[in-house]
Amino acid sequence: MTTTVEYLGSEAEGLLNYKAKVSSDLLHHPGGDFIDRTWKNSDRNPQVLRNLASIYNHGRLSGTGYVSILPVDQGIEHSGGASFTPNPLYFDPANICELAVEGGCNAVATTFGVLGTVARNYAHKIPFIVKINHNELLTSPNTFDQVMFGSVEEAWNLGAAAVGATIYFGSEESSRQIQEVAQAFEMAHQLGMATVLWCYLRNSDFKVNGTDYHASADLTGQANHLGVTIQADIIKQKLATNNGGYIAMNESGTAFGKFHKGMYEDLCTDHPIDLCRYQVLNCYSGRCGLINSGGASGEDDFGQAVRTAVINKRAGGCGLISGRKSFQRPMKDGVQLLNAIQDVFLDDAITIA
């Protein structure tokens, strides 16, 4: 069986032995008592705590404070044909849930339609995270706006442990999305469900002089900070790949946002673990768990998934959410990929940097 070191290749030494710029002493670390340490004295009611616990205490990572989540909303976000042609098995909602179960995931995050079709077969077998808003690609010309596809009450009736939503921070529609999702999260908490926020940036202005800052640590970190402000219990964010988005946005003389030079000198470096740690810091220093996404399927899915898991864990994050890499291949291979991710979080030798 391929080991984590083998998956990491030449990056193994630099990722597994790196000491982060910001001390891990500032963070709330994942662990078996994570909910007691971070949420027990919050305003989350007992039903929310129970549902959070049902997610953290399920699957192969049960009781570790880490999560491995299977997300399958790409049939809407990227079209069914584009998403499921590599493996038509997953046009059937039952197989989506079956992959999450067989893969040892903590939860499955998908659409009203998928979960509504198979709720009575799987709601008691794996925690449901119902994605309540989406961007569809059938409008011409294509638009990019997250709109509600159902109600929080409908998610509750499906037996959901949590609701998930996306906000395109920086977009023209972001103010409306923030208000809609904030209201939805308030209702979800009242009904006893946890909340998961996909914190994405979307604005062509974030591409400056040929460099794309949609995944910069400073801008995604601020998106995380806005996300936890509207009471997301778990933040889903792309792994940071660069930094200096604020600096680049202000170079033309147009004022954008606020930043401090110490963000780049005292709190971060260009090392991927430091870039991710800055994202964790903006999730209330890890009180709200940060999960990074596995990204699109490509040439080295296993290696890239393991790399992302190592960076997330060593930065102080709480897990990974990986979809296309796992379902765009035969189910047994998808299970193997999910297990390879989980093995990183089960390995006590891989510590928080």
Q: How many CB atoms lie within 10 A of CB 158?
A: 17
Q: What is the pLDDT of residue 1?
A: 65
Q: Average pLDDT in the 184-211 region?
A: 97
Name the active-site residue from 236, 238, 313, 325: 236
Neighbour-count burial of 252, counting CB atoms closer than 10 A to its CB (0-12 exposed, 13-18 middle, 19+ buried): exposed
* Higher per-residue confidence, 3 vs 167: 167
Tell me: the pLDDT tens digits for 329-342? 999 999 999 999 99
Tell me: the pLDDT tens digits for 249-276? 999 788 999 999 999 999 999 999 999 9
Which residues face 70 on adjacent strands?
A: 108
Residue 206 has pLDDT above 90, yes or no: yes
Tell me: the pLDDT tens digits for 63-120? 999 999 999 988 898 899 999 999 999 999 999 999 999 999 999 999 999 999 999 9
Decide the pairing of beta strands 133-134 and 147-148. antiparallel
Q: What is the pLDDT of residue 253?
A: 80
- What is the token pair recorded at 343? 């093995």
Q: Which residues contact 234 (CB under 8 A, 6 or more apart)?
A: 67, 162, 194, 195, 196, 197, 288, 289, 290, 291, 318
Please state whether the peptide bond connecting residue 30 to the residue before it is cis, i.e. omega within 30 degrees of 0: no
Residue 296 has pLDDT above 80, yes or no: no
Q: What is the pLDDT of residue 339?
A: 96
Angle between helices 301-315 and 272-281 (to 10 degrees): 50
207 in active site: no
Output the CATH code of domain 4-346: 3.20.20.70
Neighbour-count burial of 25, counting CB atoms closer than 10 A to its CB (0-12 exposed, 13-18 middle, 19+ buried): exposed
Question: Where are the chain's structural domains?
Answer: 4-346
Which residues face 148 on adjacent strands?
A: 133
Q: How far is Cα 127 from Cα 205, in angstroms, rounded to an integer?
A: 38
Decide the pairing of beta strands 67-72 and 319-321. parallel
Distance in Å from the first CA to the final CA of the chain? 26
